[in-house]
Amino acid sequence: MTDPKKVSLRRAADWKLPKVDWDQCPDPLLGRDKWSHPTLLSSGIFHPAARLKDRLASFGNAFRGIRNMCATQQNAWIHAIATFIVFSAGVVFRISNLEWCCLILCFMAVWSTEAMNTAVELVTDLASPEFHPIAGKAKDVAAGAVLIAAIGSMIVGAIVFVPYAWTMIAPD
Range of the domain at 101: 74-169
The reported pLDDT for the residue numbered 58 is: 86
Other CB atoms closer than 10 Å to residue 69's CB: what's the count? 19
The answer to whether residues 127 and 135 touch, using CB atoms and an 8 Å cutoff, is: yes
Compare 15 and 107 and report the one with higher pLDDT: 107
Residue 89 placed within a domain: yes
Does the reported pTM lie above 0.85? no
Please report which confidence band the pLDDT of residue 3 belongs to, taking 50, 70 and 90 as the band edges: low
Q: How far apart are CA 38 and CA 146, in angstroms?
A: 34
Q: Which of 99, 114, 121, 130 is catalytic?
A: 114
- Local structure of 33: helix, strand or coil: strand
pLDDT digits (tens, 9 = 90+) for 80-138: 999 999 999 999 999 999 999 999 999 999 999 999 999 999 999 999 889 899 999 99
Residue 91 placed within a domain: yes
How would you class 34 by CB atoms within 10 Å of its CB: exposed for 0-12, middle for 13-18, buried for 19 or more? Answer: buried
Nearest to 142 by CA among 167, 120, 171, 165: 120
130 in active site: no
The reported pLDDT for the residue numbered 15 is: 54
CATH number at residue 94: 1.10.287.3610
